Structures are given as C-alpha cells and as structure tokens.
Amino acid sequence: MNNQILDLNKDIKRCEDVLIENNYLEIVIALEELIDKYKDTINTIATDNNKVWSYNKNDLVDLKNKIIKYKEDVLENYNKEICINTFNDVRDNILNNSKILKEKKYELINIIDELEKINNKNVDDEDKWNELKKYIIYTTDEKSYVSKYIISLINFIL
C-alpha cells in the first residue's frame, strides 16, 4: 500500500514537473509512459494510439487529475478496509474472550454494531462525539477487560 501511494505521488509530481517545464517532447513522453502504466488500472484512461503527436498540455493535466482521483480512491478503499478489519477484530476478540459472559458478549456485539454505524456516518466529529458519549458512560460501569474494547473503538472513530 505504501509503495503504491509513493509511486502515485511520484507520477503526480512528474506530471507537475513536466507541466512546469512545458517541453512538448517531454509532455508526449510522459503521457505515453503514464498512459501505458495506468491503462489497466484507471478505467477512464483512453489508449488511442493514433493520438501520439496530437497530444497537448491539457491531456497531461487531465491525466494528472485522473491519477490524483485514483490515488484518492485507493486511499479511501484502504481506509474502509482498515475500518472493517478493526471492528471485526474487536468482535472476534470479544467472542473469544473467556472472561466475558455469553449474554454480555451479545450486548457488546450490539454496541459494536452501533459504534460502526456511527463511524460510517458522514457527519463531523462533534456530532459523532455527541453520539459516542453514552458509550463512554456505559464503560464506566464495566470491568476493564470489557471497557477497553469500547474505548478503543471510540478512540478509533474520533
């Protein structure tokens, strides 16, 4: 993941540098290399081989913007995956914790489901915090081996 982002950043920087340099030959070379590199990963890149010598500076600007958008999508998907894994890991830890009674496990799983819904809402942190406060209060009456799961998720959400 890190290498992919670094590579995308490098290609975005290359586009910016070539645009600043404004050398037609370098623009064509950059376009050809980057189109070839991303044609199978970025669906919106057209691979019209007849266009080589009719490229212009705007084509490179468009390609740079497509690479930026692709980078944003990669990061968003990575962040979603982290969220899913985080919540699933906490669920698994609760289910496998022998100290927690079966009834309490179901209660905690329901709370985790609610926390995940809060996390997935598209609202600002203040609104999320207002919804999360009741779970902080909930943890004050629980054992530490129960509370740590809820508190860690609240911290993750914020």
The model's pTM? 0.73
* Structure confidence at residue 26 (pLDDT): 93
* Structure confidence at residue 20 (pLDDT): 95
**pLDDT tens digits, 102-130:** 889 999 999 999 999 999 988 888 999 99
* Comparison of pLDDT for 40 and 20, the residue scoring more: 20
The owner of tokens 């698994």 is 92
**Residue 53 pLDDT level (bands cut at 50, 70, 90):** low
**pLDDT tens digits, 123-157:** 888 999 999 999 999 999 888 888 999 999 999 99
* Structure confidence at residue 55 (pLDDT): 84
**pLDDT tens digits, 70-100:** 999 999 999 899 999 999 999 999 999 998 8
Helix-helix angle 57-95:2-21, to 10 degrees: 160
**Residue 58 pLDDT level (bands cut at 50, 70, 90):** very high
CA 121 – CA 137 distance, rounded (Å): 21
* Structure confidence at residue 146 (pLDDT): 85
CA 128 – CA 2 distance, rounded (Å): 29
Q: What is the 3-state secondary structure (H, E, C) of 12-37?
A: HHHHHHHHHHCCHHHHHHHHHHHHHH
Report the length, in residues, of the chain: 158
Eight-state DSSP code of residue 50: G
Mean pLDDT of the chain: 90
**pLDDT tens digits, 60-72:** 999 999 999 999 9
* Structure confidence at residue 158 (pLDDT): 86
Q: Which residues contact 119 (CB under 8 A, 6 or more apart)?
A: 83, 87, 128, 153, 156, 157
Buried b (16+ CB within 10 A) or exposed e, 44-59: ebeeeeeeeeebeeeb
